[in-house]
């Protein structure tokens, strides 16, 4: 296994280009299965997760090439059965169910894996498929969905922690080839859902309302090939904004979209990190002493759960008490014990973390538990004095493209080593 070795205490300075969004790219890659014709997807990040999806598409029978951020897929003849050993490695792979069910009227996919950050059931996906007329069976670790015909319907996708992003994507893809009109109420409003709808419409789908809680899909008989460019990754952008503030540096983010980051930018300002728009770029700079802030994670357009861990690293440096409340996943504080190894003072009380900030952080060996926890530990290591070794960075490689190289470009002393 590989680790990051970080010699902290160096402010980040310079420019960094934000990669394409992983969470947008994965369902868009899956959506290429909806047509026999060639599709070209650009600005696809080169990550272990996108590489897994390339393998899944190929295992289903599609012809796939992926080079220099451009994905080409021709799914002329495909199977309805997804390989267990591939699907189990990545939760996002469940989004192949919608396209397979839409095009073939049958899909057999193993229950997916992914980060251990709490229960992420797919019951809402299955509820949506059933509303379209599919018969659902779960046996032997596999989910089977079959239908003689898919028929449009009205359905509610709200869950305990709010709308489901992947569930919205899955139902939307299946419904593009259903008969009649499908209306998804309490749909996820994330930019990644909007990006998928844009691609599907380019393929000939009829989707309106993406980005709002009500999405309407009028089914069509057939979809055709299309080209598309994936939106920038707002979570990667947020991570670099926070890293700039934590190290009291100044970083220009090329390609980041401020409109996707309003909640993050607002809280960074409250914590003493300046973020301003300069043309098509964002510039983040430390403004001196950091300040405490209270944060509650919420569905979009609220503060993203995927930025909670990184923000905790920043607030651990801010004198005073901050309260971070996690409302999306119940087990997303696994990074707290590792931040404590660096000197952070954090207590867990139910769904909230009480951060008593302002103590200097000092380097130590730490263990990453999931994707965003990895990023939080890297940020803490960059701000700490001495040397920090972040182990198990395979989590981080799932969602950040060449993070160590990008950080070195900004002056960070970071290298990739064998554990």
Q: Mind listing the domains of the chain with CATH numbers?
A: 2-19+232-418 (3.65.10.10), 22-229 (3.65.10.10)
- Position 115 scores a pLDDT of 46
Distance CA 397, CA 221 (A): 39
Distance CA 339, CA 347 (A): 11
From the first residue on, what is the mean pLDDT of each consecutive set of 10 residues in the chain (419 residues)? Answer: 96 98 98 98 97 95 98 96 77 90 95 51 90 94 93 94 92 98 98 98 98 98 98 98 98 97 98 95 95 97 97 98 93 93 97 96 96 97 98 95 98 94
- Position 329 scores a pLDDT of 85
- Position 114 scores a pLDDT of 46
Kindly list the distances between the CA atom of residue 288 and the CA atoms of 49, 271, 291, 329, in Å, as whole numbers in the listed order. Answer: 37, 10, 10, 33
Q: Which residues contact 198 (CB under 8 A, 6 or more apart)?
A: 210, 228
Three-class SS of residue 33? helix
Q: List the structure tokens of 155.
A: 């359905």
User: Which three-class secondary structure string do you get for 149-208?
Assistant: CCECCEEECEECCEECHHHHHHHHHHHCCCECEEEEECCCCCHHHHHHHHHHHHCCCEEE
Total residues belonging to the chain: 419
Three-class SS of residue 243? helix
Active site residues: 115
Distance CA 72, CA 238 (A): 29
- Position 177 scores a pLDDT of 98
Distance CA 86, CA 103 (A): 21
> Do 357 and 339 touch, CB atoms closer than 8 A?
no
- For the whole prediction, is pTM greater than 0.75? yes
- Position 113 scores a pLDDT of 54
């Amino acid at each position: 296994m590989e680790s990051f070795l970080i010699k902290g205490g160096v402010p980040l300075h310079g420019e960094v280009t934000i990669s394409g969004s992983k969470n947008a790219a994965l369902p868009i890659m899956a959506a290429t299965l909806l047509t026999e014709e060639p599709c070209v997807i650009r600005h696809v990040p080169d990550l272990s997760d996108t590489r897994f999806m390339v393998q899944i598409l190929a295992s289903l029978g599609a012809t796939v090439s992926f080079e220099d951020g451009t994905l080409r897929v021709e799914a002329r003849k495909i199977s309805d059965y997804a390989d267990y050993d591939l699907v189990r490695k990545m939760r996002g792979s469940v989004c192949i169910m919608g396209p397979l069910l839409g095009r073939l009227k049958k899909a057999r996919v193993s229950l997916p894996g992914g980060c251990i950050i709490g229960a992420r059931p797919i019951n809402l996906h299955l509820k949506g498929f059933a509303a379209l007329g599919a018969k659902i069976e779960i046996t032997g670790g596999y989910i089977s969905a079959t239908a003689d015909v898919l028929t449009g319907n009205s359905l509610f996708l709200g869950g305990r922690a709010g709308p489901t992003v992947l569930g919205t994507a899955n139902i939307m893809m299946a419904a593009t080839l259903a008969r009649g009109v499908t209306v998804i109420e309490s749909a996820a409003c994330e930019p990644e859902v909007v990006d998928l709808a844009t691609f599907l419409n380019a393929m000939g789908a009829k989707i309106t309302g993406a980005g709002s809680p009500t999405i309407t899909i009028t089914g069509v008989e057939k979809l055709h090939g299309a080209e598309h460019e994936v939106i920038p990754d707002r979570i990667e952008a947020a991570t670099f904004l926070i890293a700039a503030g934590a190290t009291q540096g100044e970083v220009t983010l090329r390609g980041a979209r401020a409109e996707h980051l309003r909640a993050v930018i607002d809280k960074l300002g409250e914590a003493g990190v300046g973020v301003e728009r300069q043309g098509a770029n964002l510039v983040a700079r430390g403004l001196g002493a950091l300040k405490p802030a209270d944060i509650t994670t919420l569905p979009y357009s609220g503060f993203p759960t995927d930025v909670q861990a990184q923000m905790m690293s920043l607030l651990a440096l801010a004198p005073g008490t901050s309260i971070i409340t996690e409302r999306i996943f119940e087990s997303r504080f696994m990074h707290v014990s590792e931040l404590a190894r660096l000197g952070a003072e954090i207590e867990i009380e139910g769904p909230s973390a009480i951060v008593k900030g302002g103590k200097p952080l000092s380097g130590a060996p730490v263990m990453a538990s999931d994707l965003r926890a990895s990023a939080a530990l890297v940020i803490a290591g960059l701000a700490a004095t001495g040397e920090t070794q972040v182990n198990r960075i395979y989590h981080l490689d799932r969602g950040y493209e060449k993070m160590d190289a990008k950080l070195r470009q900004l002056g960070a002393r970071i290298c990739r080593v064998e554990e």
